[in-house]
Structure 1
Amino acid sequence: MPVGPIALPPLARVCAAFAPRLAEFAFEPGFVAAVDQHAAEISEYLSPRPAGLEVPPPDAEDLSDYALGFLDALDEIGWVEPVGHDYAVARLTAICWLVREHRLCDRA
């Protein structure tokens, strides 16, 4: 029997915390644009392609490793989620969006 809380995998942690932010897309076009840009940057970072070629969906394990590193960096600086949006909120919401869009939740 485990003692204490069971740690969720990185993608599950991000999705549990930031999936509710996806509802903000309905009334926050600036947030949608920021998340879209972050999702594109993350996808390109994880799987760079020559100009003009479509970037494939991210690999669930690679995205999970990326999310873990990003979460660790936020922990190191003592980041606290703001009421509004900042760089980290947009980045984490983009990770959540990529998971949902590419149905990665069952693969990570």
Structure 2
Amino acid sequence: MPCVLTQVCSGFEQRFAEFAFEPGFAAAVDQHVAEIRERLGATAPGLEPAAPDRGALVDYALGFTDALAETGWREPVGHDYAVCRLTALSWLVRRHSMAGPRGA
């Protein structure tokens, strides 16, 4: 079974291309990245925020995707809260090279 972080990235990192022509989406994802960092305590002084703890990010992603599955959420054509959040998770994973091996 693939890692939840790898699954989220494979489903949402292609949305990074939309940042170039949808600045509102890029800004929304940036806000979600900041909220996730804050929620997981990944703050640090200086210009470069600290990487979130991988285990905490995995737990957060599992909880979020489980909640989406329980509500029957389906990815819309546009951008809703969940798309922004999942794209933000993907961005954090790729930025900090956290996509683990299968089963991790």
Other-structure match for 1:3: none
Following TM superposition, by how much is the alpha carbon of 1:106 offset from its aligned partner in structure 2, in angstroms?
Answer: 3.9
Could you list the structure 1 runs, at least 4 aligned residues long, displaced by more than 6 angstroms after superposition. Answer: none
> Does 1:60 find its partner at 2:54?
yes
TM-score w.r.t. length of structure 2: 0.88
- C-alpha deviations, 1:35-83, integer Å up to 9, x for none? 000000000100165xx84542101111111000000000010000000
Other-structure match for 2:36: 42
CA–CA separation in structure 2 for the residues paired with 1:60 and 1:24? 26
CA contact (8 A) 2:29 2:88 kept: yes
Letter in 2 for 1:36: D
Identity %: 59
> Where does structure 1 lack aligned partners over 5 or more consecutive residues?
1-6
Other-structure match for 1:76: 70
> Where does structure 2 lack aligned partners over 5 or more consecutive residues?
none
Count of residue pairs the alignment pairs up: 100
Higher relative contact order (CA 8 A, sep 6+): 2
CA–CA separation in structure 1 for the residues paired with 2:83 and 2:42? 23
Letter in 1 for 2:29: V
TM-score w.r.t. length of structure 1: 0.85
| Bigger Rg over Cα | 1
* Aligned-pair Cα RMSD in Å: 1.7
